[in-house]
Structure 1
Amino acid sequence: MLTGVFTLVGFGMAVWGARMPAVQAAAGLGPGRLALVLLAAAAGMVAGLQIGGHLAQRHGPARLLVGPAMVFGLAIAALGQCRTLTSLSVAAMAFGLAHGLIDVGANTAAVHCQRGYGRPIMSSLHAAYSLGALGGAALAAVTTWLPHPTLFAAVGAGTVLAAVAAAPAVRRLHGADSPDLANGATPDAPSRLGRSTMWLLGALAAACLLGEGAAADWAAVHLHSLNASESAAAAAYALYSAAMASGRLLGDRLTARYGAAAVVRTGALFAAAGLGTALAVGSPTAALAGWMALGLGLSTAVPSLITAAGRGGPRAVGTVAATGYIGLLAGPAAIGALASVTSLPAALTLPAVLAAVVALTARRALEP
């Protein structure tokens, strides 16, 4: 059931992102006004992560799965119908709020389920999100002939129906067989994660998600600056995403065998070395390999950081996730600012340097 939740959210996010130019054109928004819509979505997401942590602590994370998923679907449908800045901003804020609530609920539930299984499963669940995103992007790409309001309405309706269909399973998850999920964190959970460790986990999540934001917004631009073909430039983020999904599918087995700290440290070193080498070589082929290395190397980091945050209960999960999203949202802008005063290759060393920092501090953050 949790696999379906992660897949559904990734799918919806990708459809929204891939057809955003159509939404922008329909509302007649320039880049500045579109940025306000995206800011509303970001504000809603951060609020959802913080509110979700408190709700999950009090009522259990299962309560944050069905209702917010229905709101998420309705918001997707609404985003396809909006034609003004105000209506788009309201719908985007609801979209982000629902995403944040689901994020806390699904990740906290995954932490509890992982304890029940007695083996790592978080990386596979995050792989489901990545695969859902790939599926959503593919659907948006092959349905460009379909008006975006129709596509968004169909995806939104499908999301609502899936949430309704999952309600019985969520009720069972919230029932007597899952006391941790019903009652939130165990009483001793907050004492198992110090505040300094919680903020370190959040900072490392921000560092990793900055790399993801850099790949989403700058990988194609980087390839274009190297005189790569349009198809090669467009493939950069797809290869990054595919590498990340592949790494997450393998991540649980590697974590079970070697431990989270060792896997994250090795992967982050690989990411830093791969992207750093690609930037130094400066060829399209090397760049594609470098973005793939970044995706593969960082693939297990965020799932492991969220798992570690689970030692402090749902509020810690929400705080770490919210801090991480700051890197995702602010990172691309920071790279753009650096590029304006240096050069794009120099600015893109930022995610490589931060990956090295993750490697150096992974043991301290992830070992109880």
Structure 2
Amino acid sequence: MAVWGARMPAVQQAAHLSTGSLSLVLLAAALGMVAGLWAGGRFARPERLPALLICGAVALAASLALLGQCRTLASLLAAALAFGAAHGVLDVAANTGAVRCQNAYGKPIMSSLHAAYSIGALGGAALAAATAGLAHGALFLGTALVLALAVLAAEPRTVTLSGTDPKTPGPHEAGLVRAPGRVWLLGALAAASLLGEGAAADWAAVHVHALDAGAALAAGAFALYSSGMAIGRLTGDRLTTHFGAPAVVRTGAVLAAAGLATGILANHVPTALVGWAAFGLGLSSTVPSLITAAGNHGPRSVATVSVTGYVGLLAGPALIGALASATTLTMALLLPALLAAAVAVLAPRALENTTP
């Protein structure tokens, strides 16, 4: 995902895409992810998790290689659809396994598990920056081959926790359900936070590149964002234990809003890079804390918050592209900053009395 996002300017240039056309490609990936989430939700039973993890990861690698060979809008739309579907299946499998692991450990580890995703994102972004002189098609193909081989090598060690887990949504519960107002608030906050994560993945490099930064420096924007996210998530469980989820999420959201807004409005490459790093650090603990809070209301509430949150992740990048086409990219990227400010105001109420 990081290699794809960091080299987005090269994808756009190779296919001669306008900002509007690029937003259509991102929308196709979002629609594919919706399909993948639906399919993964239907099949994510404990005994099937290893197969979903392996198949989803291999399919994601294969579709990344395909994306690197596309030079037309039509081919990119088809490949992005497949890429999103594979991502959705893998996401369901990984998060279902994460919930089961946390329940088995009996203590907060969700933030640390989410840090693994951020560390992978950091590695991918760093790879993209280090290979800025290499054609993106070759980079995508090489990355896909290495990842596919690594996944297949890990297959014998891929196991699952069997048995009944009362906190894990079953296949019949993996959709929107009736929920109290507090749960819908948690879902709205998840959507706001994940919109910011999607914006960083797909638009951070484009934003810095638009400030006349080179390809390597532009790719570094997402690397810095991912670094902030990884550091925050690696320390998030410990901070939550000491200060409580409301305080950690509120403080982080203020940092995210102020950092990104400053980086966007300064119109200066170094400030923009610092802004994206602060944005990642500030948002790092939000989603793990929201998912934990939803667990207090039962498995159906966890499913509701997860699905609602993905609305922001899937629709956000395309929405920012549409706003950028109507106004400017600078104005469009203020949306995630404003939503982070809203999270800072509303999160303490949503997370009060939250237990790890």
TM-score by length of 1: 0.76
SS in 2 for 1:185: coil
Q: Which residue of 2 aligns with 1:351?
A: 336
Residues 48 and 98 of structure 1 are in contact (CA less than 8 Å); yes or no, is this contact kept in structure 2?
Answer: yes
User: 8 Å contact 1:207–1:351 — kept in the other structure?
Assistant: yes
1:293 to 278, 297, 303: 278
Residue in 2 that maps onto 1:362: 347
Q: Matched residues, percent identical? A: 55
Structure 2: stretches of 5+ with no match in the other structure = none
Q: Contact 1:49 / 1:322 at 8 angstroms: preserved in 2?
A: no
Q: In structure 2, which of residues 78, 89, 94 is the aligned counterpart of residue 101 of structure 1?
A: 89
User: In structure 2, do the counterparts of structure 1 residues 195 and 289 end up closer, same or farther at CA, with 3 Å as the change threshold?
Assistant: same
Q: Tell me the alpha carbon deviations over residues 133-176 of structure 1, each in whole angstroms, 9 at most, x when there is no partner.
A: 22112222323444433332222222222222232333x31xxx
Structure 1 residue 44: Cα displacement: 0.3
**d(CA) in 2 for partners of 1:344, 1:25:** 20
Q: Does 1:46 align with 2:46?
A: no
Counterpart amino acid of 2:33?
M
Query: Is 1:179 matched up with 2:167?
Result: no
SS in 1 for 2:44: helix
Distance 1:45 1:278, change over 3 A: closer
1:269 matches 2:254: yes
Counterpart selection for 1:325 from 302, 313, 321:
313
| Residues 276 and 161 of structure 1, relative CA distance in 2, 3 Å threshold | closer
Which of 205, 208, 212 is the matching residue for 2:193?
208
Q: Measure, in 1, the Cα distance between the counterparts of 2:242 and 2:206.
A: 38
Mapped to 2, the partners of 1:197 and 1:146 lie a distance apart of: 49
Distance change in 2, residues 1:118/1:160 (3 Å): same
Secondary structure of 2:254's match?
helix
* Residue in 2 that maps onto 1:7: none
Q: 2:116 aligns with which of 128, 131, 135?
A: 128
- How far residue 319 of structure 1 moved from its aligned partner, in angstroms, is 0.9
Q: Which residue pairs with 1:312 in the alignment?
A: 299
Kept in 2: contact 1:213–1:329 (CA 8 A)? yes
Match in the other structure for 1:164: 152
**Is 1:19 matched up with 2:7?**
yes
**Other-structure match for 2:141:** 153
Letter in 2 for 1:319: V
The CA deviation string for residues 202-232 of structure 1, in whole angstroms up to 9 with x for no partner, is 321221133334445666787799xx88379
Report the equivalent of 2:70: 82
Aligned to 1:81, the other structure's residue is in SS state coil
Equivalent-residue separation in structure 1 for 2:180 and 2:165 (angstroms): 23
What secondary structure, in the 3-state scheme, does the structure 1 residue paired with 2:147 have? helix
User: Which SS does the other structure have where 2:108 is aligned?
Assistant: coil
The alpha carbon displacement at 1:100 in A equals 0.9
**Does the 8 A contact of 1:77 with 1:152 survive in 2?**
yes
Q: Which range moves more in the overlay, 210-219 or 198-207?
A: 210-219
AA at the equivalent of 1:107: N
